[in-house]
Chains A and B, each alone.
Chain A
Amino acid sequence: MKKFIFASALALLMMSGCADKMDVKVVDNSISGDIDVLSVNERIQASSGLKEIQLHGENDTDEYIKLRYRIEWKDKDGFSVESLQSSWRELPVYKNAEFNIRAIAPSKEAVKYMIYINK
């Protein structure tokens, strides 16, 4: 019984981790082996009610990479919410180092998101 609970808890934990990474898309396949998306955390900022997200990743190579990223925000119904974040922005990533992409939702309506990473 204990084993079953442990296995279920582990499965749940793995599922939630995978669900987070569903919100990230590495556009260029040539870099998908170079970087690892370790986690995507999100929270609601208490004072404003806006969603905050943070992608935590790692550069697995021995080289400095200049990546680019953009974030598409959507409302609860899946309609896109326009913002300056939808344009590509540079992201310098140092060799064998971790990196973060942190962003705040452009409005309260923006509750879903997709982070695109490109080289």
Chain B
Amino acid sequence: MRLKLVLSLATAALLFVGCADKTERIDVHNDQGGQVMALDYRDFNEAAAKSVQSMLQSGAVNKRNGDRVILAISRIKNDTMQHIDTDQLIKKIRVDLLRSGKVVVTTAIGSGDTVDAMNKKARDLRNDDEFNQGTVQKKGQLIAPDMSLSGKIIQRNITMDDGKQQVEYYFQLTLTEIKTGLAWWEGEEIIGKRGSGKSVAW
């Protein structure tokens, strides 16, 4: 009796394991997986790549003397129904702009998480006897930004006549010259998705 019970339990466990979906790692450079109504990393990749290409092609980040543009990251507003860390978009843009050799981003000034608090904290060590004052940053060393990157991600949900749902995402970015306040580059990338009305995009 006991043997029968053990055997059937073992068989059930084996069947259970056999039915479970195997976890696979995604090839993030060639992901052929189905689309989702919400924003995923492929959407951020595409929006960032197109924005960087457009910025470089426009010449807005070219300084006449060949120096790099010092860029501050301003507010990137998440105006979607999803909980998005806008760094998912901005970090990709920052990395590609840095690689271009045309731009350096300052972390001394900016919005939210783009600021590295250590810039200020390290300067609070002035007059602290515990620290060798020769190694503490002198006044007037930080470099002020030339330009600022700001923007917004917008979401629009539309119910279609056939009951399907259309979700439109707008990635809007603006590059402003701080000296004049003029927007030297503006970009908008639209990603649209259409799917079941039962899908939830938030």
Which A residues have a C-beta under 8 Å from some C-beta of B? Answer: 45, 47-48, 50, 52, 70, 81-90, 102-104, 106-109
Could you tell me the distance between the alpha carbons of A96 and B100 in the complex, rounded to whole angstroms? 36
In the complex, which range does the number of interface residues on chain B fall in? Answer: 20 to 34
- A108 with B57: CB separation less than 8 A: no
Q: Mark B13-30, 1 if CB is under 8 A from A, else 0.
A: 000000000000000111
Q: Closest 10 CB pairs between A and B?
A: A84-B49, A47-B62, A47-B59, A87-B29, A104-B56, A48-B62, A107-B101, A104-B57, A107-B100, A84-B96
Q: Does B173 contact A (CB under 8 A)?
A: no
Q: List 21 A-B contacts (CB under 8 A).
A: A45-B57, A47-B59, A47-B62, A48-B61, A48-B62, A48-B102, A50-B100, A52-B57, A84-B48, A87-B29, A87-B49, A88-B29, A88-B30, A103-B53, A104-B53, A104-B57, A106-B96, A107-B99, A107-B100, A108-B101, A109-B101
CB neighbours of A87 from chain B (8 A): 28-30, 45, 49
Could you tell me the distance between the alpha carbons of A52 and B57 in the complex, rounded to whole angstroms? 8
Given contacts A85-B49, A87-B45, 20 further A-B contacts (CB under 8 A): A45-B57, A47-B59, A48-B59, A48-B61, A48-B62, A81-B99, A83-B96, A83-B99, A84-B48, A84-B49, A84-B96, A85-B53, A87-B29, A87-B30, A89-B46, A90-B46, A106-B99, A106-B100, A107-B99, A107-B101
Q: Does B194 contact A (CB under 8 A)?
A: no
CB neighbours of B96 from chain A (8 A): 83-84, 106
Q: Does B152 contact A (CB under 8 A)?
A: no
CB neighbours of B125 from chain A (8 A): none
CB neighbours of A81 from chain B (8 A): 99
Given A87-B28, A88-B30, A103-B53, A45 and B99 contact (CB-CB distance below 8 Å): no
Closest residue of chain B to A68, judged by CB?
A: B30
Q: Does B92 contact A (CB under 8 A)?
A: yes
CB neighbours of B92 from chain A (8 A): 84
Could you tell me the distance between the alpha carbons of A84 and B50 in the complex, rounded to whole angstroms? 9
Q: Does B52 contact A (CB under 8 A)?
A: yes
CB neighbours of A88 from chain B (8 A): 29-30
Could you tell me the distance between the alpha carbons of A109 and B49 in the complex, rounded to whole angstroms? 18
CB neighbours of A89 from chain B (8 A): 46, 49
CB distance from A108 to the nearest CB of B (A): 6
Could you tell me the distance between the alpha carbons of A103 and B100 in the complex, rounded to whole angstroms? 13
Could you tell me the distance between the alpha carbons of A106 and B105 in the complex, rounded to whole angstroms? 17
Closest residue of chain B to A52, judged by CB?
A: B57
- B56 with A48: CB separation less than 8 A: yes
Q: Mark B134-160, 1 if CB is under 8 A from A, else 0.
A: 000000000000000000000000000
